[in-house]
Amino acid sequence: MKKTIKTTIEVEIDNIKVSKDYFSFEYTISINGIKRDKKEYSNDYENGDTPSQWRKTLEDGYAVECALENLGYIELK
């Protein structure tokens, strides 16, 4: 019989900063309730959004995707 393995990965995003063409944030990764990584992510953006629009995009989940991709957990399309 196959054994099912479950893991919980939690991503906490803090300290989001957005300027005209640059953004950064801090993130913490927890696996099964144990904090593993605390890192900073920064990058530029050129999609025509205002800083407030880009902040909203980050808050709506894009920051989590960036953090996971940065750690090699997922690949953004």
For the cut 70, the answer to whether the pLDDT of residue 5 exceeds it is: yes
Mean pLDDT on 51-74:
89
pLDDT band at 77 (very low <50, low <70, confident <90, very high): low
For the cut 70, the answer to whether the pLDDT of residue 75 exceeds it is: no
Asked whether 29 and 35 are in contact (CB, 8 A), the reply is yes
pLDDT band at 73 (very low <50, low <70, confident <90, very high): low
Asked whether 8 and 32 are in contact (CB, 8 A), the reply is yes
